[in-house]
């Protein structure tokens, strides 16, 4: 079945460091791909998404490109801030009722 694998955390970075959180997927069809973020004490919220191969999702300085050839959707940010500290979840969906999440990666950014 469809699944998502993301890099294990926790990840600790200094402010202004470059961030990469790896995400790979397996799917039978052509899923949409997502990154969700969960800030401390809050629910999950959509960070960015891409619906087809080679699409790039971006938001708040974060980017991820849908790579069909490597079945990947890695999350990147060029310069992280303390306020980016959160848990990040990679997810895929092949349609209604089929939202599958990775295990989550906890990011801590230190000043």
Partner 1 sequence: GAGVSQSPSNKVTEKGKDVELRCDPISGHTALYWYRQSLGQGLEFLIYFQGNSAPDKSGLPSDRFSAERTGGSVSTLTIQRTQQEDSAVYLCASEDRGNTEAFFGQGTRLTVV
Examine residue 53 and tell whether it contacts partner 1 (CB under 8 A): no
CB of 29 to partner 1, least distance (A): 13
Examine residue 45 and tell whether it contacts partner 1 (CB under 8 A): yes
Is 23 within 8 Å of 5 (Cβ atoms)?
yes
CB of 13 to partner 1, least distance (A): 20
Give Cα 104 to chain centroid, integer Å.
9
Which residue, 17 or 44, is less far from partner 1 as judged by CB? Answer: 44
Q: Which residues bind partner 1 (CB under 8 A)?
A: 32, 34, 36, 42-46, 49, 89, 93, 95-97, 99-104
């Amino acid at each position: 079945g469809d699944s998502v694998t993301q890099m294990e955390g926790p990840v600790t970075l200094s402010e202004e460091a470059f961030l990469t959180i790896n995400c790979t997927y397996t799917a039978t069809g052509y899923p949409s791909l997502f990154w969700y973020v969960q800030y401390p004490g809050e629910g999950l919220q959509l960070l960015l998404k891409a619906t087809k191969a080679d699409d790039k999702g971006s938001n708040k300085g974060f980017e991820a490109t849908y790579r069909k050839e490597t079945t990947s959707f890695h999350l990147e940010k060029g310069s992280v801030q303390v306020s980016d500290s959160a848990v990040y979840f990679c997810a895929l969906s092949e349609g209604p009722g089929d939202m599958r999440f990775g295990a989550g990666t906890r990011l801590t950014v230190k000043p």
